[in-house]
Protein backbone atom coordinates (compact mmCIF):
# COMPACT_ATOMS: atom_id res chain seq x y z
CA UNK A 1 0.00 0.00 0.00
CA UNK A 2 2.86 2.35 0.88
CA UNK A 3 4.50 1.64 -2.51
CA UNK A 4 1.33 2.75 -4.30
CA UNK A 5 1.27 6.02 -2.34
CA UNK A 6 4.92 6.71 -3.18
CA UNK A 7 4.29 5.91 -6.86
CA UNK A 8 1.20 8.14 -6.91
CA UNK A 9 3.10 11.07 -5.36
CA UNK A 10 6.00 10.51 -7.76
CA UNK A 11 3.67 10.40 -10.76
CA UNK A 12 1.90 13.62 -9.68
CA UNK A 13 5.26 15.36 -9.18
CA UNK A 14 6.39 14.26 -12.66
CA UNK A 15 3.12 15.46 -14.24
CA UNK A 16 3.47 18.82 -12.50
CA UNK A 17 7.06 19.19 -13.70
CA UNK A 18 6.10 18.36 -17.31
CA UNK A 19 3.26 20.87 -17.15
CA UNK A 20 5.56 23.59 -15.81
CA UNK A 21 8.15 22.96 -18.54
CA UNK A 22 5.44 23.04 -21.22
CA UNK A 23 4.02 26.33 -19.90
CA UNK A 24 7.50 27.85 -19.65
CA UNK A 25 8.31 27.05 -23.28
CA UNK A 26 5.44 29.18 -24.63
CA UNK A 27 6.61 32.54 -25.96
CA UNK A 28 5.25 35.80 -27.31
CA UNK A 29 5.69 37.53 -30.64
CA UNK A 30 4.42 40.61 -32.41
CA UNK A 31 2.13 40.82 -35.41
CA UNK A 32 1.04 43.33 -38.04
CA UNK A 33 -1.82 42.51 -40.38
CA UNK A 34 -3.92 44.33 -42.98
CA UNK A 35 -7.50 43.20 -43.54
CA UNK A 36 -9.72 44.38 -46.37
CA UNK A 37 -13.40 43.57 -45.80
CA UNK A 38 -16.39 44.06 -48.09
CA UNK A 39 -19.86 42.69 -48.23
CA UNK A 40 -23.57 42.88 -48.62
CA UNK A 41 -25.18 40.34 -46.20
CA UNK A 42 -22.37 37.83 -46.79
CA UNK A 43 -18.96 39.45 -46.48
CA UNK A 44 -15.48 38.41 -47.33
CA UNK A 45 -12.10 39.56 -46.17
CA UNK A 46 -8.51 39.08 -47.17
CA UNK A 47 -5.15 40.56 -46.48
CA UNK A 48 -1.59 39.96 -45.45
CA UNK A 49 0.73 40.51 -42.56
CA UNK A 50 3.95 39.70 -40.76
CA UNK A 51 4.61 37.72 -37.59
CA UNK A 52 7.83 38.56 -35.74
CA UNK A 53 8.81 35.66 -33.50
CA UNK A 54 12.16 34.80 -31.92
CA UNK A 55 14.00 37.33 -34.08
CA UNK A 56 12.59 36.13 -37.41
CA UNK A 57 9.82 37.50 -39.61
CA UNK A 58 7.18 35.23 -41.11
CA UNK A 59 4.86 36.48 -43.89
CA UNK A 60 1.16 35.77 -43.27
CA UNK A 61 -1.89 35.36 -45.49
CA UNK A 62 -5.25 36.47 -44.08
CA UNK A 63 -8.67 35.30 -45.23
CA UNK A 64 -12.14 35.12 -43.83
CA UNK A 65 -15.86 35.14 -44.29
CA UNK A 66 -18.71 36.71 -42.35
CA UNK A 67 -22.44 36.14 -42.30
CA UNK A 68 -25.07 38.46 -40.94
CA UNK A 69 -25.76 42.08 -41.71
CA UNK A 70 -22.74 43.53 -43.49
CA UNK A 71 -22.82 46.47 -45.84
CA UNK A 72 -19.87 48.39 -47.23
CA UNK A 73 -16.12 48.06 -47.40
CA UNK A 74 -13.21 48.83 -45.09
CA UNK A 75 -9.50 48.39 -44.63
CA UNK A 76 -8.05 47.79 -41.18
CA UNK A 77 -4.41 47.86 -40.12
CA UNK A 78 -3.84 45.88 -36.92
CA UNK A 79 -0.74 45.57 -34.77
CA UNK A 80 -0.22 43.84 -31.47
CA UNK A 81 1.00 40.80 -29.61
CA UNK A 82 0.72 37.08 -30.19
CA UNK A 83 0.83 35.18 -26.92
CA UNK A 84 1.16 31.52 -25.96
CA UNK A 85 2.93 30.16 -29.06
CA UNK A 86 5.79 27.69 -29.12
CA UNK A 87 6.56 27.88 -32.83
CA UNK A 88 5.58 30.27 -35.61
CA UNK A 89 3.08 27.83 -37.12
CA UNK A 90 0.99 27.97 -33.90
CA UNK A 91 -0.38 31.33 -35.09
CA UNK A 92 -1.97 29.62 -38.12
CA UNK A 93 -5.62 28.72 -37.71
CA UNK A 94 -9.14 30.04 -37.47
CA UNK A 95 -10.10 32.80 -35.07
CA UNK A 96 -13.89 33.16 -34.61
CA UNK A 97 -15.61 36.38 -33.59
CA UNK A 98 -19.11 37.75 -33.28
CA UNK A 99 -19.67 41.45 -33.16
CA UNK A 100 -21.21 44.67 -34.27
CA UNK A 101 -19.58 47.79 -35.57
CA UNK A 102 -19.66 50.72 -37.88
CA UNK A 103 -17.05 52.93 -39.46
CA UNK A 104 -17.42 56.05 -41.52
CA UNK A 105 -14.06 57.45 -42.49
CA UNK A 106 -11.72 56.37 -39.69
CA UNK A 107 -12.43 54.28 -36.61
CA UNK A 108 -10.46 52.48 -33.93
CA UNK A 109 -10.60 48.72 -33.43
CA UNK A 110 -9.46 46.57 -30.48
CA UNK A 111 -9.88 42.79 -30.43
CA UNK A 112 -8.62 39.70 -28.57
CA UNK A 113 -8.92 36.38 -30.42
CA UNK A 114 -7.87 32.76 -29.74
CA UNK A 115 -7.37 29.92 -32.21
CA UNK A 116 -7.47 26.13 -31.85
CA UNK A 117 -3.71 26.01 -31.05
CA UNK A 118 -4.15 28.27 -28.03
CA UNK A 119 -2.50 31.28 -29.72
CA UNK A 120 -3.95 34.55 -28.42
CA UNK A 121 -3.97 37.67 -30.61
CA UNK A 122 -4.22 41.01 -28.80
CA UNK A 123 -4.73 43.53 -31.60
CA UNK A 124 -5.50 47.19 -31.98
CA UNK A 125 -5.68 49.23 -35.13
CA UNK A 126 -7.36 51.75 -37.33
CA UNK A 127 -10.21 51.04 -39.71
CA UNK A 128 -10.89 53.18 -42.77
CA UNK A 129 -13.91 53.01 -45.04
CA UNK A 130 -17.68 52.88 -44.86
CA UNK A 131 -19.01 49.70 -43.30
CA UNK A 132 -21.83 48.69 -40.99
CA UNK A 133 -21.90 45.15 -39.63
CA UNK A 134 -23.67 42.87 -37.19
CA UNK A 135 -22.25 39.48 -37.97
CA UNK A 136 -20.43 36.30 -37.09
CA UNK A 137 -17.05 36.16 -38.73
CA UNK A 138 -14.05 33.92 -38.97
CA UNK A 139 -10.50 35.10 -39.52
CA UNK A 140 -8.07 32.56 -40.94
CA UNK A 141 -4.31 33.12 -40.67
CA UNK A 142 -1.73 31.01 -42.45
CA UNK A 143 2.01 31.20 -42.98
CA UNK A 144 2.97 31.95 -46.58
Helices (H), the chain: 2-24
Q: Which of 11-15, 21-25, 90-94 has the lowest mean pLDDT?
A: 11-15
What single DSSP character describes residue 90?
G
Instruction: Tell me the pLDDT tens digit for each residue of 105-125.
Output: 666 677 888 899 999 999 888
Domains along the chain with CATH numbers? 27-143 (2.40.128)
Instruction: Tell me the pLDDT tens digit for each residue of 35-64.
Output: 888 877 667 788 999 999 999 999 999 988
**Which pLDDT value is given to residue 6?**
40
Amino acid sequence: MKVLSVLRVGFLALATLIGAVTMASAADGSIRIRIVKAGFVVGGSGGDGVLTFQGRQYPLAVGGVSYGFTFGASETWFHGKVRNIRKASDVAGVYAQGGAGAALGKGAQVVVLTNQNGAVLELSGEQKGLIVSLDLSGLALSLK
